[in-house]
Homo-oligomer: A and B are copies of this chain.
């Protein structure tokens, strides 16, 4: 369960990014993240734990400073013992925006899971602080995380391995590098287990800004929204390992920059400009 909001509607944006976001040109997604984090007054905590490269944290630090923020800190949690670091906890408590880099989402869940860092991130988000993650960082944001899986178009039993994530929302499962790595089969498999959640398949350089019920798509690619709330039948309970899984009644939307999706009504809308023409 997500940490409870102190006042209704107080929760900060939850921002999964599909990986490989533009860092050189207009940096649309990163700019928008800085904007919702306070703009020039923003203080960004960068968590590069998913990555095994020492350069990942400093690279984002430079990027955010170039965009123009009040401060940007690298909280370089390498192992569970690091999560007690009082200085880093103080910065995490002071940050107006938190950003998790890409890498391996199992590093995030195994190093941060259950620690004071994870609990503080959950409380800060509930109190209004936006939390973004790219690639592995995106996968880790929700309650139910895709740990790894197969590529391909058709769902099949065993195609995906799920694990508990950070738990900022339990209404969405995200998958990243979606078009680039052909992951619709594994996302469908994840949803076939329990049709409660909505699946977001995020192309690279594409993000979802989830603010309450409203989700806005920002970036150069598409988000494939897979809605199984009206599923008539899932064959997952009886499917053998490796066998394809029957799914009857999936609803699917492909949404690009400016489109929106409502998590409460499960309705998708085209960008406002298109609506005006209709």
Contacts and interface: CB of A to CB of B under 8 A. Distances in A.
A248 B253 contact: yes
A203 B235 contact: no
Given A154-B201, A248-B270, 11 more contacts: A188-B254, A222-B245, A232-B268, A233-B274, A235-B270, A247-B252, A247-B253, A247-B254, A248-B269, A249-B253, A250-B254
Interface stretch (A96-104, A139-147, A178-186, A207-215): A178-186
A203 B243 CA distance: 12
A: interface residue count bin: 35 or more
Nearest to A244: B222
This chain: how many copies in the complex? 2
Interface in A158-182: 178-180, 182
Contacts of A248: 253-255, 259, 268-270
18 contacts: A153-B153, A153-B178, A153-B184, A154-B178, A154-B201, A154-B203, A154-B222, A154-B254, A155-B254, A188-B254, A222-B244, A246-B255, A247-B252, A247-B254, A248-B253, A249-B251, A249-B268, A251-B252
Interface of A: 151-156, 178-180, 182-185, 188, 201, 203, 221-222, 224, 232-233, 235, 238, 243-256, 259, 268-271, 274
A237 to B, nearest CB: 10
A221 B154 contact: yes
A179 B153 contact: yes
Nearest to A188: B254
A202 B22 CA distance: 35
Contacts of A253: 247-250
Nearest to A152: B179
A260 to B, nearest CB: 10
Most chain B CB neighbours (cut-off 10 Å) among A180, A221, A251, A254: A254
Contacts of A259: 246, 248
Contacts of A249: 251, 253, 268
B221 A244 contact: yes
In the A-B complex, the 7 residue pairs with the closest CB atoms? A222-B244, A182-B182, A154-B179, A250-B252, A247-B254, A248-B268, A153-B184
Contact of A254 (B183, B245, B256, B269): B245
Contacts of A156: 179, 222
A207 B235 CA distance: 19
Contacts of A178: 153-154
Contacts of A155: 222, 254
